[in-house]
Amino acid sequence: MIEKFRRLRLVWFVAIVLTVGLMVADYRANKVIELRLGLFAGSNWNVPQGETYIIIDEVIERFEAEHPNVRVKYVSGIKREDYSEWLAEQFLDDAEPDIFFVPAEDFNMYSSMGALMDLTRFLLLDGTFDPTDYYPAAYRYGLFEDKPYALPRESVLTFMFVNKSLLAREGIAMPSNDWTWTEFLDICRRVTRDTDGDGQLDQFGCYDYSWKQAVISNGLNLFREDGKASYFASARMEETVKFMMELRSIHRNYEVSPKDFDMGRVAFRPFSFAEYRTYKPYPWRIKKYTLFDWDCLKMPAGVSNGNTSTLDTLLVGMSARTNEPELAWSLLKALCYDKTTQEMILRKSQALPTRRDVVLSTEAQEIFQWNSTDNAAMTSTDISAAMDEAVMPPKFKGCADAMLYADSEITKIISGVISFSNALNRLQKEINARLQY
């Protein structure tokens, strides 16, 4: 009798556990879960952008259709220049979004303080995600101490704007994408002159080309990976500074202005790819530069490297304190990895997708032809090659301050205010001392 009672009690207990489990599962399945998304209005790339939320809203619509009990919410109208402060306030109030855009200047801070979720386990367990689908520099942008803390959503490269009308007037052929510093200097010399005979230069080789861009195309990493040492006294830096001094001498110390460029009196100017897409005259974009025909090329290759530029990337990360990590990971993928989303970025934004297969797609080839009458120098294959070759800018703590000081000193060297002799050695010692603080 006692044994029968025990068996009956065990059956009741199992039945109660199963019932409670089913009730919890049913509650979980029907409970409306809210995921919060942090983002800013407008472009990350300092160009005009209409339909700010069109891509985001379409991603959310697809995500909610696949997850009927989930609602994704975001605060609209936050300007890019106000976003970092807004996000910091959310963290201070323990109210940060589950998923949020991570400004490049804030990524290391949030990673190092444990505010961002280490995504390693999601990458290892998710068989539908392959990080090699991304361009290497774009993916590495979201690494901190070799661990992934954010995914790349979109990127931009720096290219060299070319005034084709000016070159044509001077009888100069359009350079190829594998051009060099030597060719760059030669063309700048040939076009820089006094065109109206008043004794003053009024046509110029380049505007807004910096030593920092030249360093990248000469294959120099200015800082050790841990940010504790610099290489300003290296042979490649010396080559770069001498090249910049020679380039400056062509203009005879004349400071080329934005007006000179806008009036079509300058042959070359570095441009972000976002500007290229915004202002290149194909039907659904703004035509800004109407006085001359223009196109873009890769940056000229330095003595010791190739046609390389930096790849700037907009990251999206997950809060380390999210209550819904699995759902947040799914939303993160939908925003940054999903092929449909990446194709929308290709069509509807000024930036470049971070997935190689999308940049090399047939649709991309058609878009980058711009229009049937314009033989664009940059094809989708060229753009993809440039993204593969691109490097990630340094992001360690204190980098911005070190670069600000270096820029001031190197500008003085290039302009002749400081003697070139031993100047780079002194600069390296000073920068290294600052990096130890």
How would DSSP label each residue in 285-327? S-----SS-EEEEPPPB-TTS-S--BEEEEEEEEBTT-S-HHH
Cα–Cα dist 229/111, whole Å: 21
pLDDT of residue 226: 84
How many domains does the structure of the chain reveal? 2
Answer for the pair 219, 236: CB distance below 8 angstroms, yes or no: yes
Residues 236 and 363 in one domain: no
Please check whether residues 210 and 337 belong to one and the same domain: no
- Higher per-residue confidence, 46 vs 51: 46
In this structure, the answer to whether residues 204 and 337 fall within a common structural domain is no
pLDDT at 10 over 70: no
**Residue 53 is part of a domain; what is its CATH number?**
3.40.190.10
- The answer on 192 and 138 residing in a single domain is no
Q: 3-state DSSP helix/strand/coil percent for the chain, to nearest 5?
A: 45, 15, 40
Which segment of 39-43, 199-203, 390-394 scores lowest on mean pLDDT?
390-394
Q: What is the pLDDT of residue 240?
A: 97
What does the buried/exposed string (b/e) look like for 124-140 if buried means 16 or more CB atoms within 10 Å of the residue's CB? eeeeebebeebbbbbbb
pLDDT in tens, 352-361: 999 999 999 9
Three-state SS for 214-234 is: HHHHCCCCCECCCCCCECCCC
**Residues 60 and 115 placed together within one structural domain of the fold:** yes
Which residues on neighbouring strands pair with residue 295, listed in sequence order? 162
Specify the DSSP element, H or E, that contains 154: strand 150-163
Does residue 195 sit in the same domain as residue 324?
no
Mean of the per-residue pLDDT values for the chain?
89
Claim to verify: residue 134 and residue 263 sit in the same structural domain: no
Q: What is the DSSP letter of 42?
A: S
Note whether 381 and 267 are same-domain residues: yes
Look at residue 6 and tell me if it is in a domain: no
Q: Are residues 151 and 133 in the same domain?
A: yes
Neighbouring residues of 361: CB distance < 8 A, sequence distance ≥ 6: 343, 346, 380
pLDDT of the residue at 23: 44
- Give a yes or no: residue 415 inside a domain: yes
* Maximum mean pLDDT: which of 46-50, 51-55, 178-182, 260-264: 178-182
Residue 25 has pLDDT above 70, yes or no: no
Query: Is 321 part of a structural domain of the chain?
Result: yes
Share of the chain above pLDDT 90, in %: 76
Residue 10 lies inside a defined structural domain of this protein: no
Given phi > 0 = left and psi -120 to 50 = alpha, else beta, which region is 227?
A: left
Domain range enclosing 363: 32-155+315-367
Whether residue 8 is contained in a domain is answered as no
Q: What is the DSSP string of 12-24?
A: HHHHHHHHHHHHH
Confidence class for position 201, pLDDT limits 50, 70, 90:
very high
| Residue 351 CA, distance from chain mean position | 8
- Residue among 324, 261, 315, 319 at smallest CA distance from 288: 261
Same domain, 336 and 362: yes
Residue 11 falls inside a structural domain:
no
Band of the pLDDT at 301, cuts 50, 70, 90?
Answer: very high
Which of 349, 367, 385 delimits the end of a domain? 367
Beta-carbon contacts of residue 305 (< 8 Å; ≥ 6 apart): 217, 218, 219, 220, 236
Cα–Cα distance between 361 and 344 in angstroms, integer?
Answer: 13
> In terms of domains, do 166 and 302 share one?
yes
> Residue 205 in contact with residue 188, Cβ under 8 Å?
yes
**pLDDT tens sequence across 62-116:** 999 999 999 999 999 999 999 999 999 999 999 999 999 999 889 999 999 999 9
The per-residue pLDDT for 28 is 52
**Longest CA–CA separation in the chain, Å:** 119
Whether 335 is in a domain gets the answer yes
Q: Is residue 7 part of a domain?
A: no
284 and 199 share a domain?
Answer: yes
State the Cα–Cα distance between residues 300 and 142, nearest whole angstrom: 28
Band (285; pLDDT cuts 50, 70, 90): very low
User: Is residue 300 a contact partner of residue 160, using CB atoms and an 8 Å limit?
Assistant: yes
Of 350, 367, 384, which residue sits at a domain end? 367
What confidence tens digit (pLDDT) does each residue in 323-378 have? Answer: 999 999 999 999 999 999 999 999 999 899 999 999 999 999 888 875 444 555 67
For residue 160, pLDDT over 50 is answered with: yes
- pLDDT score of 284 more than 90: no
| Last residue within a domain, chosen from 347, 367, 387 | 367
